[in-house]
Amino acid sequence: MIVNVLLYLASLAVIWFGAGLIIKSIDRIAHSLKLSSFAVSFFLLGILTSIPETAISATAIADHNPEIFVGILLGGTIVLFLLIIPFLAVFGGGIRINHDLSRENILLTLAVIAMPGLFVLDHRVTNLEGIALLASYAVLFYFLQRKHGILDHNSVEAMALKRYSFLDLLKVGLGVGIVFLSSQYIVNQTIALSQAFDISAFYISLLVLSVGTNLPELSLAMRAILSKKKDIAFGDYLGSAVVNTLLFGFFTLINDGEVLTINSFFITFLFILSGLGMFYFFSKSRRNISVREGVILFGVYFLFVIYELSRGLLG
- The CATH number assigned to the domain holding 88 equals 1.20.1420.30
User: What does the H/E/C string look like for 132-155?
Assistant: HHHHHHHHHHHHHHHHHCCCCHHH
Measure the CA dihedral 178/184/185/188, to 10°.
170
Say what the pTM is: 0.80
Count of structural domains, the chain: 1
pLDDT tens digits in sequence order for the chain, 315 residues long: 677 778 777 877 887 787 777 767 766 766 666 655 556 667 776 777 788 888 888 888 888 888 888 999 999 999 989 998 888 888 878 777 655 567 788 889 899 999 999 999 988 899 999 999 999 999 988 887 776 555 554 554 444 444 556 777 788 788 878 877 777 777 777 777 777 777 788 888 888 888 877 777 776 667 666 666 544 445 666 788 999 999 999 999 998 778 877 777 888 999 999 999 998 888 776 667 888 999 999 999 999 999 988 886 665
Q: If you ran DSSP here, which 8-state letter would residue 214 be given?
A: T
Domain membership of residue 251 as a residue range: 2-314
